[in-house]
Amino acid sequence: MEERFWSDERKRWDGHQAFNTVTHHHVSCYFPADGHDTCDIMIVGCADGRWYVEDNWGGNLHIVLDDGNVKDSNVQFCLNQAEENGDVKGVELAKILLQMSKTQRLKLYADH
């Protein structure tokens, strides 16, 4: 992967930007690990039709908290995912995020 897709701040590659992803599907969850509430595997679809598998530790709100997608529709999607998965903390956090402005969410993302 090109170096421009490395984030020193987040200490990880930004595969979503590098591969221009357009969709993803969560396919499994494991028992929690130290420091993480959830772990899951995603099948990620790219704009050019390719797919890849990503080990994702961000839980049901990862597209907001890890990827910086902060529109109301993004948070609502996460809320729906959290509700479907019985993620009580995720539901609570998504509801708090929906009360915030997009600017506030962007600041939260940038600072975390």
Render each residue's pLDDT in the chain as its tens digit; 112 residues: 678 877 777 666 777 788 888 888 776 655 555 555 555 677 788 899 888 877 666 677 878 877 788 999 999 998 998 888 787 878 888 999 999 999 988 887 776 5
Decide if 1 is inside a domain: no
Decide if 4 is inside a domain: no
Order across the sheet with 40-46: list the strands. 21-29, 40-46, 51-56
- Regarding pTM above 0.85, the answer is no
pLDDT at residue 28, as a whole number: 60
Locate the DSSP E strands across 9-97. Answer: 12-13, 21-29, 40-46, 51-56
54: how many CB neighbours lie within 10 A of its CB? 17
Q: What's the domain range around 27?
A: 10-111
Strand partners, 36: 33
Number of domains forming the structure of the chain:
1
Decide if 3 is inside a domain: no
